[in-house]
């Protein structure tokens, strides 16, 4: 039974897979595979373990003649054609819940870095521009008492709200398809419609999934509804913001700044964003804590063992239509 792992991941899950004599690993640890390389490599494998930038299209899935499981090393699965996989009876699994704290911490770090102008100030020091203390440089907003608006109030959004509410005394509002009563009570949070959130928030942080409904959810018209001092944080998925509209909005001063961990066409970044001081950029590292990444590796191994060794559906299954019985899944 063959498992293709497209990139180097923490050893913990690899060791679990290696302990099963019947499992043969095709473990690629170099540069990302091109589309053609992926199609060739997948031809005789039982399980594919891709990462977020691998585009698992209909054509790639169809090239996997023996494919039983796509066990993505991620929570998100918008890079996989789930419909095709499901139609072919191929399980898709993910690693839910493992990176909640990591991404929430990164969102907090992005907010603080942007507001307190840490990256700009660092560049200033390294550029040997620090000649004397100046009361008027790198002044930013205080967060205490300001309003944080969360678009998407699932696990990550709620965790970030905890930091902001309990640590910084921020007011929490959110927009989400469903009401989260327990979290509302815990965090004194209020559910509002998107327009109200855009109007009232000093910081807007995005934590929803990418789907047809959320693609370009933030475009030029939405930017016009925000406060001119508003900061936007996106650690979810790039295409939720229309990046060209964002550049225009920043140039026109519709908002004060943006911190992005994700981009519309990763790894490409709009060149104008690179030139702006009120923009903080990181290369999709929201989940990059050792704890989260090791846990992701373990969960991938659990999914693979479920299917290949125990002959049952993966415990963290995405396409639940393929199973009748309830499984342990917190997706
Ligand atoms: C995910 O898992 O979906 C993150 O975006 C990458 O770790």
For the stretch 24-49, pLDDT in tens is: 999 999 999 999 999 999 999 999 99
Give whole-number Cα distances, 188 to 105, 151, 208, 285, in Å: 20, 16, 20, 29
From the alpha carbon of 236, which atom of ligand 1 is closest? 5
| Strand-strand pairing, 24-27 and 47-49 | unpaired
203: CATH? 3.40.50.720
- Please work out whether the CB of residue 4 comes within 6 Å of at least one atom of ligand 1: no
Residue 331 has pLDDT above 60, yes or no: no
Q: Could you give the percent of the chain with pLDDT greater than 90?
A: 97
The whole-chain average pLDDT of the chain stands at 96
Is there a single domain that holds both residue 156 and residue 266?
A: yes
* C-alpha 283 to ligand 1 mean position (Å): 12
Q: How many domains does the chain have?
A: 2
Q: Is the CB of 6 under 6 A from ligand 1?
A: no
Q: Measure 72 CA to ligand 1 centroid, in angstroms.
A: 10
pLDDT above 70: percentage of residues in the chain: 98
Average pLDDT, stretch 102-114? 98
Atom of ligand 1 nearest to the CA of 237: 5
In a domain, 192, yes or no: yes
- Residue 330 belongs to a domain: no
76 close to ligand 1 (CB < 6 Angstrom): yes
Using DSSP, state whether 93 is helix, strand or coil.
strand
Pocket test for ligand 1, best of 7, 49, 52 (most atoms within 8 A of CB): 52
From 262, 287, 296, mutation site for ligand 1 pocket: most ligand atoms within 8 A of C-beta: 287
* Tokens read off for 166: 């309990």
The pLDDT tens digits of the residues spanning 253-267 come to 999 999 999 999 999
151 and 36 part of one domain: no
Residues 233 and 105 grouped into a single domain: yes
Give the helix ranges, DSSP H, for 242-284: 243-251, 271-275
Whether residues 118 and 93 fall in one domain: no
- Domain for residue 264, yes or no? yes
- Does residue 59 lie in a domain region? yes
Report, as residue numbers or ranges, the catalytic residues.
Answer: 237, 266, 284
For the residues 224-228, what does the mean pLDDT come to? 98
The reply to whether 92 and 103 lie within a common domain is no
Same domain, 228 and 175: yes
Write the DSSP assignment of 170-190 as a string of letters. -EEEEE-SS--HHHHHHHT-E
Ligand 1 pocket test target in 10, 51, 71, 75 with most atoms within 8 Å of CB: 75
Q: 236 and 250 share a domain?
A: yes
How many helices (DSSP H) and strands (DSSP E) are in the chain? 14, 12
CA of 73 to the centre of ligand 1 (A): 8
Same domain, 59 and 189: no
Task: Answer yes or no: do 174 and 66 share one domain.
Answer: no
Residues 127 and 141 in one domain: yes
Q: Is the CB of 234 under 6 A from ligand 1?
A: no
Nearest CA to ligand 1 atom 2: 74
pLDDT band at 98 (very low <50, low <70, confident <90, very high): confident
26 and 106 part of one domain: no
For atom 6 of ligand 1, the residue with the nearest CA is 74
Which residues neighbour 137 within 8 Å (Cβ) at sequence distance 6 or greater?
Answer: 124
d(CA 284, CA 210): 15
241 and 269 fall within a common domain: yes
Centre of ligand 1 from the C-alpha of residue 250, in Å: 27
pLDDT band at 330 (very low <50, low <70, confident <90, very high): very low
Distance 130 CA to ligand 1 centre (A): 38
Integer CA distances (angstroms), 66 to 21, 48, 87, 322, in order: 19, 10, 15, 17
Contact call for residues 264 and 239 (beta carbons, < 8 A): yes
Separation of CA 55 and ligand 1 centre (Å): 14
Residue 79, domain extent:
2-97+290-322
Any domain includes 157: yes
Is 247 a domain residue? yes
Mapping DSSP to helix (H, G, I), strand (E, B) and coil, where does residue 123 land?
A: helix
Establish whether residue 287 lines the binding site of ligand 1, counting it when its CB lies within 6 angstroms of any ligand atom.
Answer: yes
Q: Ligand 1 pocket, 100 CB below 6 A?
A: no
Residue 329 resides in a domain: no
pLDDT at 243 over 90: yes
Does residue 218 carry a pLDDT above 50? Answer: yes
161 lines ligand 1 (CB under 6 A): no
């Amino acid at each position: 039974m063959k498992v293709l792992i497209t990139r180097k991941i923490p050893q913990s899950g690899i060791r679990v897979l290696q302990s099963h004599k019947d499992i043969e690993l095709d473990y690629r640890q170099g540069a990302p595979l091109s589309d053609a390389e992926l199609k060739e490599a997948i031809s005789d494998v039982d399980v594919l373990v891709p990462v977020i930038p691998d585009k698992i299209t209909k054509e790639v899935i169809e090239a996997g003649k023996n494919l039983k499981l796509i066990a993505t090393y991620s929570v998100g699965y918008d890079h996989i054609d789930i419909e095709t996989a499901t139609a072919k009876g191929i399980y898709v699994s993910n690693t839910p819940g493992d990176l909640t704290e990591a991404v929430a911490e990164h969102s907090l770090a992005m907010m603080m870095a942007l507001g307190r102008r840490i990256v700009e100030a660092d560049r200033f020091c390294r550029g040997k521009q620090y000649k004397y203390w100046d009361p008027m440089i790198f002044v930013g907003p205080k967060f205490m008492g300001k309003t944080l608006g969360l678009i998407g109030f699932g696990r990550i959004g709620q965790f970030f709200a905890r930091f902001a509410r309990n640590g910084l005394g921020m007011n929490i509002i959110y927009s989400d398809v469903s009401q989260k009563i327990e979290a509302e009570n815990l965090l004194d949070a209020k559910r509002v419609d998107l327009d109200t959130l855009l109007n009232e928030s000093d910081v807007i942080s995005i934590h929803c999934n990418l789907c047809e409904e959320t693609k370009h959810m933030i475009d030029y018209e939405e930017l016009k509804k925000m406060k001119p001092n508003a900061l936007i944080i996106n650690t979810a998925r790039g295409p939720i913001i229309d990046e060209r509209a964002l550049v225009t909005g920043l140039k026109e001063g519709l908002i004060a700044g943006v911190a992005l961990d994700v981009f519309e066409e990763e790894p490409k970044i709009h060149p104008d964003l690179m030139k702006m001081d009120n923009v903080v950029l990181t290369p999709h590292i929201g989940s990059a804590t050792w704890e989260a990444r090791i846990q992701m590796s373990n969960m991938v191994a659990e999914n693979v063992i479920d299917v290949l060794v125990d002959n049952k559906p993966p415990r963290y299954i995405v396409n639940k239509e393929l199973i009748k019985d309830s499984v342990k899944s917190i997706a």
